[in-house]
Amino acid sequence: MGLDPVEVDSKHYTVEFENDQVRVLRIKYGPGEMSEMHEHPNGVGIFLTSGRARFHSGDGTAEEVSFEAGDAAWFPATKHNPENLGDGPIELVEVELKS
């Protein structure tokens, strides 16, 4: 993987668990906070909070999404820079697949 979020943005990304099959990240953004451009392999995210975010893609496009606490979503491999658009924190757990 190229731009590892844990290496380029350790303020928002921490490793909770890792083995040869998966890496589990805890992701936390305060209101209005933005990440650095980084990459993820295919994975699944579980949102612990409700909120709204804008995902700036590596190709220059952006997409806004809303989510509710408890939502789970498939995340295809991507390069992006997330931005919290809400008034509260965003927290989620992402399970990155290694194979």
pLDDT at 51: 98
Of the candidates 13, 69, 75, the one whose C-alpha atom is nearest the C-alpha of residue 44 is 75
Q: Dump pLDDT digits (tens) for 62-83.
A: 999 999 999 999 999 999 999 9
Written as six digits, the tokens of 75 are 């995340």
Which pLDDT band, with edges at 50, 70 and 90, does 2 fall under? confident
Q: Dump pLDDT digits (tens) for 3-13.
A: 999 999 999 99
* Residue 49 DSSP code: S
- What count of residues does the chain have? 99
pTM: 0.94
Mind spelling out the 3-state secondary structure of 60-74? CCEEEEEECCCCEEE
Give the architecture (CATH level 2) of 5-97. Sandwich (2.60)
Does residue 1 register a pLDDT over 80? no
